[in-house]
Amino acid sequence: MEKEYRTEQEVFADLENLCKEEGFIYAYSILCTRDNFMTKKLGDESLDSFQGWYSPERLIRNELNTLQGLMIKRELELEPIDTDRIMDQVVRADSLLKEIHDSMTFHPENMKSMVDSWERGESFSDSLYQNPSMLRETIFYSSESAYDFQYKEFAKLKFFHDKEWLSQNKGFDAEEAVLIVDSLIELTKYNIENLHSKKMCPSSMLDVYKIDIEAIVSKTNLSDEKIDSFINAMTSIKQNTNFNCISDINEAKLTPIVKIGSHYYLFHHYTLLEAIYESPMFWIRDEDKKYLKTAEKNRGKYTEDLTKSILIKVFGENNVYSNIDIFDEKKSKTKIGEIDLLVIFGGKALIFQAKSKALTLQARRGNIDILKSDFFKGIQRAYDQAVECSVALHTGAVILKDENGDKIDLNTEITRYYPITITSEYYPAITFQSNQFLKRTSDYNYINEPFVMDVFFLDILSEFLDSPLYFISYVDRRSNYFDTFISSSEYTILSHHLKTNLWLDGKYNVGFLDESLTADLDDAILVRRCNWQGKKTPTGILTKYQNTFFKKIIKAIETKDYEKSVDFGLSLLKLSEETINDFNLAINKLVNRTKQDNKTHDFSLFFEDFGLTCHVANITNKTEFEKASIRLQSHMEVKKYTQKSKFWYGVLVNASNNEAILISMMDSDWKKDLEFEKNIPQELAENKQAITIKNFRKEINKKIGRNNPCICGSGKKYKKCCI
Q: What integer best gives the mean pLDDT of the chain?
A: 87
CB atoms < 10 A from the CB of 519, how many? 20
* Residue-wise pLDDT tens digits, 461-475: 999 999 999 999 999
The better pLDDT of the pair 52, 609 is held by 609
* Residue-wise pLDDT tens digits, 283-305: 999 999 999 999 999 999 999 99
Residue 494 has pLDDT above 90, yes or no: yes
What percent of the chain has pLDDT above 90? 59
Instruction: Please list the residues that pair with 401 across neighbouring strands.
Output: 325, 407
Residue 187 has pLDDT above 90, yes or no: yes
The strand pair at 611-617 and 257-260 is best described as unpaired
Q: Are 162 and 155 within 8 A, CB to CB?
A: no
What percent of the chain has pLDDT above 70? 86
The DSSP result for 688-702, as a single string, is: -----HHHHHHHHTP
Q: For residue 147, give the nearest of 582, 524, 576 by alpha carbon.
A: 524
The band of 239, judged by pLDDT with boundaries at 50, 70 and 90, is confident
Write down the pLDDT at residue 121. 64
* Residue-wise pLDDT tens digits, 549-600: 999 999 888 876 666 788 899 999 998 888 898 889 889 989 998 998 899 9
Instruction: Compute the average pLDDT of residues 211-227.
Output: 95
Instruction: Compute the average pLDDT of residues 340-362.
Output: 90
Helices of type H across 209-329: 213-220, 224-233, 251-254, 269-287, 289-315
Write down the pLDDT at residue 126. 62
Distance CA 520, CA 48 (A): 10
Write down the pLDDT at residue 358. 79
Write down the pLDDT at residue 177. 98
The better pLDDT of the pair 542, 721 is held by 542
Beta-carbon contacts of 517 under 8 Å, excluding residues fewer than 6 positions away, are: 492, 495, 496, 499
Write down the pLDDT at residue 370. 86
The band of 42, judged by pLDDT with boundaries at 50, 70 and 90, is very low
Write down the pLDDT at residue 43. 47
> Which burial class, exposed, middle or buried, applies to 642 when counting CB atoms under 10 A from its CB (0-12, 13-18, 19+)?
buried
* Residue-wise pLDDT tens digits, 77-133: 888 788 999 999 999 999 999 999 998 887 666 666 666 665 666 665 666 666 777
* Residue-wise pLDDT tens digits, 364-418: 777 778 888 888 888 999 999 999 999 999 998 899 998 888 999 988 889 999 9
Instruction: Please list the residues that pair with 485 across neighbouring strands.
Output: 511
Write down the pLDDT at residue 723. 47
Distance CA 198, CA 111 (A): 49
Q: Are 245 and 124 within 8 A, CB to CB?
A: no
Q: Are 229 and 208 within 8 A, CB to CB?
A: no
Report pTM: 0.90
Residue 718 has pLDDT above 60, yes or no: no
The strand pair at 348-355 and 335-345 is best described as antiparallel
Write down the pLDDT at residue 696. 58
Q: For residue 475, give the nearest of 346, 656, 363 by alpha carbon.
A: 346
Instruction: Compute the average pLDDT of residues 639-651.
Output: 92
Per-residue DSSP letter, 404 = T
The band of 424, judged by pLDDT with boundaries at 50, 70 and 90, is very high
Residue 638 has pLDDT above 60, yes or no: yes
Distance CA 569, CA 578 (A): 17
Residue 44 has pLDDT above 60, yes or no: no
